[in-house]
Structure 1
Amino acid sequence: MTLSVVKPPTEALISDDVRNRLIRQLINEHAGMTGDEAVRIVDATVAFLKVCADNPDGHFRPSLRVDLGWHQFILNTVDYAEFCERVAGRFLHHVPEEFTPPRATRSDTAKVLAPTVDAMRAAGFTVDPELWATAESAQCSQCHAGCTNCGQGGDGDGAAAQRRTLVTMGR
């Protein structure tokens, strides 16, 4: 009997070398991050970026954890630029929005991320509820040192500003 390994659809979008490097970098640069979490973040980041590439007029936001993966990918400038050109035909810019007054709850965050989550599902990607503030996700377990009460931090009281990021397409 032969076992076949089913790879996540995102693995076809980046090489094993780039994927493994991003995973190692996330683990090394974020205290307490597990290998499993880093793998999930890289996969979710690539899926998010593919959705952005395929929907140039969309306004999608990463979750805080996925944003860590996006930042790590951008730091690998040659690989990121090559990915953008190959997958999107243009550079996918990361344009952070300004902080807004503190008020976001976990349910507010889920609403803000819902268009992105819906687009990812429509594109055939699996959405990891621990990485995205989805309606079905339990209380967030992704907090780390310096976490804010942003609605993705698990406290739900919105005591700090939520960091929001939009993608603009090569403008």
Structure 2
Amino acid sequence: MTITAVTATRTGQSLVTKAEFSMLATFCADEYSLERSVAARVVDQALALVHVMGSTGEGATMAPSQQVDPGWHTLVLHTDWYANWCAEQFGYFVHHQPNSKTRTRGLMTDVVGKIRAAGFVVDERLWGTAAECNAPACCGDGPCC
């Protein structure tokens, strides 16, 4: 008999309480004029990204996609909450240092790989790395289109 190991995957949402996630997703939806369900996906991916950045110390080499960036802005705009969350998760504050000019399909693919390797579910559509993201219907950032 063969036993297959099941790799557990986690979500960014699992890193915060339900009340915190609801607060963040609602703010993101209101602030960036997103449908609530889309804002929830965006915040989920932002939490996973920041967690990987903070826990690996590789923040300087990672960037959010254009679609995920509003989620990170949402975290940062809740300054007290975000500072406390970073301190609890990593022991230091993960700064948002804008580097949108570095967004390429290659970088997004690398970031997605790091998030996935950390055990998180990745929403490929928000990173511009989904298979159906080809011109003229590209859903990604930068020169991939």
TM-score range, shorter chain: 0.7 to 0.9
Q: Secondary structure at the match of 1:64?
A: coil
Highest relative contact order (Cα 8 Å, sep 6+), 1 or 2?
1
- Gaps in structure 1 of 5+ consecutive residues: 1-6, 101-107, 143-148, 157-171
Task: Return the alpha-carbon distance in structure 2 between the equivalents of residues 9 and 135 of structure 1.
Answer: 18
Partner residue, 2:46: 45
Q: After superposition, give the CA deviation of every residue in 1:129-148 in whole Å (9 maximum; x if it has no partner).
A: 11001152423458xxxxxx
Q: Give 2:79's aligned amino acid.
A: T
Partner residue, 2:142: 150
Q: Does 1:109 align with 2:110?
A: no
- For residues 6-155 of structure 1, the aligned pairs below 5 Å read 9-31=11-33, 33-57=34-58, 59-97=61-99, 99=101, 109-134=104-129, 136-138=131-133, 139-141=137-139, 150-151=142-143
The percent of aligned pairs where both chains have the same amino acid is: 32
8 A contact 2:63–2:99 mirrored in 1:
no
Larger relative strand fraction? 1
Partner residue, 2:6: none
TM-score (normalised: structure 2): 0.80
- Residue 73 of structure 1 and its aligned partner are, at CA, apart by 0.9
Count of aligned positions: 133
8 A contact 1:26–1:72 mirrored in 2:
yes
Flag the 1:150–1:35 CA change in 2: closer, same or farther, 3 A: same
Q: After superposition, give the CA deviation of every residue in 1:139-159 in whole Å (9 maximum; x if it has no partner).
A: 3458xxxxxx8347xxx2xxx
- Gaps in structure 2 of 5+ consecutive residues: 1-8
